Chain A
Amino acid sequence: MSAAASTAPVLQVEALRAYYKISSFGLDREVRAVDDVTFHVNANEIYGLAGESSCGKTTLIRTIAAAIKPPLRVVGGSVVFNFAGRPVDMQKADDETVAAVRWKHLSYIMQGSMSVLNPVRRVERAFVDFAFRHIGKRKPEFLDIVRAHLQRLDLNPDILAAYPHQLSGGMRQRVAIALATVCRPEFIIADEPTTALDVIVQNSVLAMIRDVQKEIGSSLIFVTHDLAVHANLCHRLGIMYAGRLVEEGPTAEIFKAPKHPYTTHLVASLPRIGNTAPKKGLEGTPPSLAAPPPGCRFHPRCPLAMDICRTQNPPMVEVLPGRRVACFAVTPPGRAA
């Protein structure tokens, strides 16, 4: 499984809260997109983050990358990276430190590769814009590095002369990956990088992400709502529901024996080829983060909901080594402490 678990984690997120605060005409609104999230990512590990749309996945990784703009605010908690023994607290660091860290140590593979690449400029220009200052070499040497990197990823270096619209969707996504890894960062965040692609292309893009992660030995946070992708890629998996982390553990164990009722449902409802047994959808809808239900945010849809779930929020408890769950049905409140 994940190597180097003995060394300090590369990313430590502690009790992070990030809210969108809107106040207009004297009316205050608060959207608790990330509420009390704690987790860590080890070196050389792929950490999967799963959850449905608007459950706070994107807010979480934005906060981790310190790419926050009002109305999004960090209300509490910390995000600390450990780049080669040098801790960087992203919330406290000044703009210069953050700018120096980005792309060199921490890079980002985005969902819409078309919005990463400037449509009226050649691909080469994107590499210069993103990576030139971090590599710190002269231009011809820099381009040699880029070409060598593309070749390592089985991309033809000639694409540097192409415009984004001349490339297919899968090819553009591969260019976005090459762009994010050219500085060999210690940490990569991938936000739904394969969602817009069809199955065959998706597989080769995922294989490429995995290969490049292995080669440069970086850590990766992989965000997608597609559990089948997580099953095939990630070492550990965190399941988010309505702004909170509800379950975390090694991928194989989560799929084998999910503990939280939401996870149980997600895993059970996955359709499989060769299996036509009826599968149920989950009743109800995800809650609005502006007015989340009191107590456990999953309780209105939960088949196991008890009285305590309606009033108290279940804490994240380590039930097995490396396995954490936030559910009163798994850890009854009396025994939780």
Chain B
Amino acid sequence: MAPLLEVADVQRTYALGSILSRHRLRAVDGVSFTMAADRPEIFTVVGESGSGKTTLARMILNMVAPTAGAIRFRGTDLRQIRSGKERLAFMRQVQPIFQNPFEAFNPLKKLDRYLFMTARNIAGLTAVGEIEDATDRALRNVGLSLAEIRGRYPHELSGGQLQRIAIARALISRPALIVADEPVSMVDASLRMSIVNLLRQLRDEMGVSIIYITHDLATAYYISDRIIIMRKGQVVESGEARAVLDNPQHPYSIRLKQAVLSPDAAGSAGRLLAESATAAET
């Protein structure tokens, strides 16, 4: 059986500057990994800003084409997806969740309408009853229901609820893979863990594989099965998440781990901060 997702030596370069002073930026430089079809997992991509995490996500979502290398989803090279029909079939299988739930929804549009549109356009449902059923089912998976959402606008809900709805939207077409780009960085502290737990629940109960992109090592440690650590477009370390984060090998991974502020340092009044900062600079 073909793997769910195969990323093979993928590269993406962007040209910067004017015609006279042109240089190339390798946003993603030779990244490879495989996700199995029969074993759902949470695959985490960690790195600082500018490390190419989001570019990688966009390539997996087929929004940006790789400059070199190939991405295959269930054995099909994404470059072969040409017709609208094939594209739709792909979108049904692979769905995104974005960072900022307040920007993901149109503020002038009711939330249920947004979900119905997804059910109609992406999942390809036509009957009104079917559409409502699919929407309600997806909302129930994230701990909400259609009755709660009907007729409401995005400003009436909190960030955590909106992010749940964004996840429900992604679930309507029953995808096999969800690409979540920093899904909790804009969510309030008291609601953050419920979103993270939800991702874990999707993996365990619905068998959805998740690519979790973040720079927060603590939540990565909490939910991931496997992890890759990226720096300047390249993977510096990869492996089983707990093993990598418990005992990082690459100097950059060590630096990254040291930079994580631990809540257990309370009362040090910045002493540990000084140590980790000097360690980060050397």
Chain A residues at the B interface, C-beta cutoff of 8 Å: 1, 46, 52-53, 169, 197-204, 206-207, 210, 225-235, 250-256, 262, 265-267, 269-276, 278-282, 285-286
Contact = CB atoms under 8 A, between A and B. Distances in A.
B193 A271 contact: yes
Interface residues of B, number: 49
Contacts of A225: 188-189
Contacts of B264: 231, 255, 272
A63 B266 CA distance: 28
- Main DSSP-derived SS at the B contact region: helix
A210 B273 contact: yes
A271 B189 CA distance: 11
Contact of B274 (A210, A229, A251): A210
B267 A255 contact: yes
A210 B261 CA distance: 15
Interface of B: 48-49, 157-161, 188-197, 215-219, 221-222, 242, 245-246, 255-257, 259-270, 272-274, 276-277, 280-281
A251 B266 contact: yes
B202 to A, nearest CB: 15
A207 B273 contact: yes
A292 B158 CA distance: 14
B190 A273 contact: no
Given A169-B49, A203-B277, A233-B270, A227 B245 contact: no
Contacts of A234: 269
A270 B218 contact: yes
A251 B267 contact: yes
Contact of A232 (B190, B197, B217, B270): B270
B193 A280 contact: yes
Nearest to B281: A204
Contacts of B193: 269, 271, 279-281
A164 B261 CA distance: 28
Nearest to B271: A232
Contacts of B190: 52, 262, 265-266, 269, 281-282, 286
A46 B219 CA distance: 27
A193 to B, nearest CB: 14
B130 to A, nearest CB: 30
A285 B158 contact: yes
A238 B272 CA distance: 21
A206 B259 CA distance: 11
Contact of A201 (B48, B157, B267): B48
Contact of A252 (B191, B256, B266): B266
A203 B280 contact: yes
Given A197-B49, A201-B48, A273-B262, 13 more contacts: A52-B190, A198-B48, A198-B49, A200-B48, A200-B280, A202-B259, A203-B261, A227-B189, A230-B266, A232-B272, A251-B266, A269-B189, A282-B194
A90 B128 CA distance: 60
Nearest to B102: A53
A190 to B, nearest CB: 14
B256 A210 contact: no
Given A200-B48, A266-B190, A207 B270 contact: yes
Nearest to A197: B49
A273 B221 contact: yes
A273 B220 CA distance: 9
Contacts of A266: 189-190
Contact of B197 (A228, A230, A276, A278): A278
26 contacts: A1-B269, A53-B159, A53-B188, A198-B48, A199-B256, A202-B261, A203-B261, A206-B270, A207-B270, A207-B273, A226-B261, A227-B189, A229-B261, A233-B270, A253-B267, A255-B264, A255-B267, A256-B267, A266-B190, A271-B216, A272-B262, A279-B193, A281-B197, A285-B157, A285-B158, A285-B161
